[in-house]
Structure formats: structure tokens, C-alpha cells
Amino acid sequence: MAAEATRYWAPAAWVNGAWAQDVLLAVGAHGRWAEIIPGAAPEVRQGARPLSGPVLPGLVNGHSHAFQRAIAGLTERSASGEDDFWRWRDRMYSAANRVSPQQLEAIAAFLYSELLRAGYTQVCEFHYLHNGLDGKPYADPQEMSMALVRAAQRSGIGLTLLPTLYMRSGFAAKGLREDQRRFASTPESVLRIAQSVAHEAGDDGFVTAGVALHSLRAVDEASIHEVAQAAAGMPIHIHIAEQQLEVDDCIARHGRRPIEWLLDKIPLDSRWNLVHATQTTPQELEGLRGKRASIVLCPSTEANLGDGVFDLPGWAGQSGSWSIGSDSHATRSWQEELRLLEYSQRLTLKQRNVVARAALCESSAAALFQGALEGGTAAAGAPLGGLAVGQRADFMVVDMDSPALVGVPADHLLDALVFSSPEARFTEVYVAGRERRPAGTGAQLADEMRRAMRELWS
């Protein structure tokens, strides 16, 4: 559905990877861009609604576990001995095995409203909490999935639901651990959820579906083939090569590294989105690029969990497709994700403006923002590639009164947006040409979040 006001005028807008001035933005049928006119003369933009500041396209959050918003800030204390990803995972399971559908909806609605205010206009929900607290299937297999759909609809954000296949606890395991009982699923069950959600969501384009495979350790080869063949036209996501132990276990079981095995055994294509991939080799990245697969990077979570640093210069230097996600939601800011992404490279390589040089771009912020923007369509399976005819009309309006932007020259605006903190704010966020605000008040969502947190942790 198109917006009531179908024509906007922006004093500046990010078009084709650069700032353009005096831009007319026209929203057509089904909430997609019908016309983008930089340098629009006053008579051309007559009658258009003026926007209060520069415009950036909305970004896709390519990887989310919404329920983990309930543990943000609650896993930062260490008991005796070493602490690592696997100990964090055990603590995360304590939330996974407590949260009800009602609590999940409250947590997700609050989270999604945070993401929307930050300028994310679509979120890819990697969803594996399928069963009841006792591990038995709900009477309605979509119980938890529809809680996420309702949360997205209440917040106003677009949603790509990714029901996730999870069948075993490790490469050599026969099944799941007791604390993974809620994750149990089959190829048929996740495909049925994806198809049902896509059907029930209607044709407004705000909610869509793909499928996910939790990881190579959690699924077998036959099931991967079955899901990939059935998921025609859908994005496919998988956690891959996140931790060194996972790589070692894969080599012990299959004689190959995870991405090597995937390239050898599975017919990858542009539907595939590999999440994290922090443990990679140049040869693996070259193979993935040849398959036109994409990478989803989650810098704040990868730092929080000690995963490692993805070889972004190697990937960007090959013109590889990538997007960003906030994963466990230690932060809900795309600016912080991009800043961490660049800073991790600088710390590792002891150089500056690493991604800019790899992408043959003068501005680090431009290289980062444009990379995340262009990869978002592959992650979401929706036309979300920016301010261009045919793409969904998603955008955010920069608040030029933000302290980080005061006095910044116009041609350095994006640099300051990414690298000057605290983050600049956005006065308005639009999805499909319409300003999106949460149903009800922010106070109501916060009250529901507080209630859910009390129930979970008191």
C-alpha cells in the first residue's frame, strides 16, 4: 500500500552510494520507489512533503535472535576458570528454556521498536524456539513464530522469518541434548512454518519468510539438500565457522573445514547467507564468491562472544556481498555495528581505513554503509537495496541537531554518523513510504518488556 503523501523532498539523500542534493522521492504502488530525482528544481518538487533532514535508506538487520534481547547485559560476569562462547551458550539456554509465547512477543516487540527507531527497517529473525517449555510441540506449531509476526506488526518493522532446522547437538550426536528440546524440528516442519507464515502474512510485503539451518553440527547432509531444494525463491541462512572448536570438530568428523564441506557437498547459490564465517581461508572466500553466496556479519556479538574477526578486506576486495545483523542484541545500533566492524580490522591489522581501501572507496563510512545496504536484499529476500526505482521505499531522516553532527561539513555527514559517538538520531523512519510508529505507546511496550523480564529473572 502506498503512503498517503506519495511525494517527499529531501535536502540531501544517499543515492547510488553518494550524497545527492535536493532529491524528490516519489512512492508508487505497493510502497516501492517510483521516481528518484536528484537536483529537483523547485517547480518539480512543488507539493511534495519536505523532510526535516538528510535521508538515508533503511537497513536490513540480517541476523536476529529476538529472545536473546532478554539477556543483554546479563552474561558479563565470569565464574572461576575460563569463559568462552560455549559457557555463554549454556547461560543463553536458561533464557531459551524459560520464555513463553507471550513473553517472546513482548520482548520482540520492544526490541523491534528499538531497531526501527535506529533505522533498521527489516529484520531477519533466525528462529529456533519451536516447541513448548516441556519440549513437546504446541497444539499450533506456529505458536512461537506468530508471536514474532505479531511483534513485528506492532512495532512497524518489516520481518523475514527464518524458521530454523535443528536436529542434533553435534556432528557425531544422534539427537538433541535435554536443554535443546525446544529446538527440535524436521525439514518438513520448518518448511511448513515458512510457507504458512508467508501465506498468512498477505501481500503487503512487510512480513515474508525464508528458512535457516542452524549449523552443520546441528543438521545432516540429506536434510540440508531437502530444505534447499524445497525452499525455492526463499533466502537460506546458516551459522557457519563461527568458533574454532566447530572447525576442529568438522575436520574430525568430515575431514574438511565447514565452508570447504559446504562448497563440496551443497549446490550453493545466491539464496545462501552464511552467518559469521569468522574462521575462513582465502580459498573458501573465493569459492563462496564464485557461488554468489552472501555473508552476514554481527560485529557486536562476534566481539562479545570472542568469535574472532572476519576477513572483510579479503571479502570486500573480491566484491563479496555482505550484510550486518545484531544477533544477540548487545547493541541495537547499525552505526555501532559498522564502527566495530572497521575497528576490529584496524586492531587486527594495525592499519586505518581498512575497508575503504579494500572497497576502493575514499570514505570508510561510505564503504561500510553501502556494503551493508547492498547485501541486505539477499539476507531479507526482499527488494531493499536503497533509494532506487523498484526498491521498497524504506528510509530514515537524520536529526541534524544530534550532538555528533553539530558543525560537521555536509560531505562528511556519513563519516560522522558512523564514527562519531554517541550515535546521531533519526527523527522519522519510513517503511514502504509510510512513517512507522509502534502500535500503542513506547511506554506500553516498555511496561510489557519490564513485566516479561520480571517473570523471567525474578
End-to-end CA distance of the chain: 43
User: Cell 586505518 appears where?
Assistant: 352
Burial class (CB in 10 A: 0-12, 13-18, 19+), 269: exposed
Check if 327 is active-site. Answer: yes
- Cα–Cα dist 408/398, whole Å: 13
Cβ-contact 13, 387 below 8 angstroms: yes
Close Cβ partners of 230 (under 8 Å, ≥ 6 residues apart): 187, 191
- Cα–Cα dist 401/413, whole Å: 12
Check if 65 is active-site. Answer: no
- Cα–Cα dist 211/411, whole Å: 40
| Phi–psi pair at 413, nearest 5 degrees | -60, -50
Closest of 295, 429, 409 to residue 363, by C-alpha: 409
Closest of 321, 439, 315 to residue 62, by C-alpha: 321
- Cα–Cα dist 379/296, whole Å: 8
What kind and span of H or E run contains 358? helix 354-358
SS3 317: coil
| Phi–psi pair at 57, nearest 5 degrees | -65, 150
- Count other Cβ atoms within 10 Å, centred on residue 249: 17
Cβ-contact 388, 35 below 8 angstroms: no
User: Cell 517473570 appears where?
Assistant: 455
CB-side exposure of 425: number of CA atoms within 13 Å? 8
- Cα–Cα dist 241/323, whole Å: 17
Cβ-contact 22, 40 below 8 angstroms: yes
- Cα–Cα dist 70/83, whole Å: 20
User: Reduced to 3 DSSP states, what percent helix, strand and coil does the chain have, rounded to the nearest 5?
Assistant: 40, 20, 40
Which of 63, 237, 276, 329 is labelled catalytic? 276
Which of 307, 311, 327, 394 is labelled catalytic? 327
C-alpha cell, 312: 572483510
- Count other Cβ atoms within 10 Å, centred on residue 194: 23
The catalytic residue positions are 276, 327
